[in-house]
Amino acid sequence: MTTIKLTRQEMRTAAYTGVERNLNALSKNLTNLYGASERKTEWQNDVVGAIGEYALAKHLNMYWNPAVDVDLDALPGDVGTYQIRTTGWPQGCLLIRPRDKMEAPFVLAVIEGNIVTFKGWLYGFESKTVGELRDNDTYWVKQDKLHPMDRLP
């Protein structure tokens, strides 16, 4: 596991990006995927997701493109070629969905306040062998099935 502490300004930058992503989706009448609108979590997902992206970029010392008004599927990844999934649940799982880029490395981050802990990673295609298939054809991968962060390619 690797932990990153974000400053107030870093948190603000990432959170504003999440808000802008959600506002952009609303203005285009885009539908939320995988039941987010039914759970009323679309705002949270955008903000928490952007914070995870920012933290991963900081950890990897990479430029973070806070993509807002672009087709996210057209980008190589959330941070460079890396995909990141962020949750507020300490025991949260890495979720891999049918539309995901299976050849990409996916990182799981858990956020608590301004502390982001990277629990590990795996390639999307690995989720089919180590994950549990659940609703919406989504594979849920428990944290103990992830590769350690020091082996991130």
23-74 pLDDT tens trace: 887 887 766 655 444 545 577 888 999 999 999 999 999 999 887 777 767 7
* Predicted local distance difference test score (pLDDT) of residue 74: 78
* Predicted local distance difference test score (pLDDT) of residue 88: 94
The answer to whether 15 touches 68, Cβ cutoff 8 Å, is: no
The pLDDT tens digits for 83-133 are 999 999 999 999 999 989 999 999 999 999 999 999 999 999 999 999 999
pLDDT at 9 over 50: yes
The answer to whether 60 touches 82, Cβ cutoff 8 Å, is: yes
Q: How far is CA 118 from CA 27, 36, 92, 132, in A?
A: 33, 23, 11, 21
Closest CA to 18 of 41, 55, 44: 44
* Predicted local distance difference test score (pLDDT) of residue 136: 84
* Predicted local distance difference test score (pLDDT) of residue 90: 97
